[in-house]
Amino acid sequence: MRNLLQTTLDTALYSDVLVYWQRRAGPDADEYVIYTVNGDSGEDFADNTALTKNASATVKYYYRVEKAGTYAGRQDIETRENTIETALKDAGFDMPFGKFDAGEIDGNGYFVTVFECDYWRVV
In this prediction, residues 86-111 reach a mean pLDDT of 93
Of 121, 99, 118, 123, nearest in space to 39 by CA: 118
Fold that domain 2-122 belongs to in CATH: STM4215-like (3.30.2000)
- With vertex at residue 97, the alpha carbon angle to CA 93 and CA 103, rounded to the nearest 5 degrees, is 110
Domain residues of the chain, as ranges?
2-122
Does the structure show a pLDDT above 90 at 69? yes
- Does residue 28 register a pLDDT over 90? no
Percentage of residues in the chain with pLDDT exceeding 90?
A: 63
Q: Is the whole model's pTM more than 0.85, yes or no?
A: yes
| Calpha distance 78→101 (Å, rounded) | 11
